[in-house]
Homo-oligomer: A and B are copies of this chain.
């Protein structure tokens, strides 16, 4: 594990964008799974203008690592919709570089990724509860690969999903799909972005251990190439 502490959100975003750029500039196909959510917002703002319309980024391929479908609606779910709004749209990434995970194909997702050469990097955030991707405490086990999590997995999951679909009950799905911990750990590099004082306690728990299923992200410390980019506030409680 390597930890780098940035002064603030802007610097964390610059570092994360630098790292993604270095991957995108490899000579051959590179497979990236990138995060939606609020954490990477600035990172995508920095990346999009540099990537848009530049042919040298044509062999960067993108994979979403979770998806919350809208009940009764076809097309993208919450994650891909967000990624489109934040990055794929502004950066004008062609469809051929997008590899969508959804409720229909999740059982093939791990095999498809291996067939494509594996994920070169996953860039993700972490929740104050220790979740990463869709691995909320109590929903998946460390050994799980890409899987379907039913709304019944946790008593409060319906409420969580309802927020994700904008509070509209007609869109509330009965499940979501996510790379499980084992699928995430199979990537060649993991990058964890952590910012804000409300993340300080979980970052401390991740870094100090123990590895325990109640803190899903604690498993990430065992990946041979994990980079944590934290801002000063998030790093405040580290030893």
The interface of chain A, by Cβ under 8 A from chain B, is 1-5, 15, 17-19, 21-23, 25-29, 54, 56, 59, 113-118, 141-143, 181-182, 185-188, 209-211, 218-219, 221-227
Please indicate the chain B residues that have their CB under 8 angstroms from the CB of A223 in the complex: 185, 222, 224
Q: What is the oligomeric copy number?
A: 4
A124 to B181, CA, bound (A): 24
Residues of B within 8 A of A116 (CB): 29, 117
In the assembled complex, the Cα of A147 lies from the Cα of B224 at a distance in Å of: 18
Residue of B whose beta carbon sits closest to that of A225: B27
Minimal beta-carbon separation of A141 from chain B (angstroms): 6
Within 8 Å CB of A211, what residues of B? 141-143
Nearest Cβ in chain B — how far from A37, in angstroms?
A: 22
Q: Are B21 and A141 in contact (CB under 8 A)?
A: no
Sample 7 A-B pairs with CB under 8 A, ordered by A number. A2-B26, A21-B22, A25-B227, A26-B225, A29-B115, A143-B211, A182-B221
Chain B hits for A18, CB < 8 A: 17-19, 21-22
Contacts of A185 in B (CB 8 A): 222-224
Q: Which of B2, B25, B188 is close to A2, meaning CB atoms less than 8 Å apart?
A: B25
Which residues of B sit under 8 angstroms from A187, Cβ to Cβ?
224
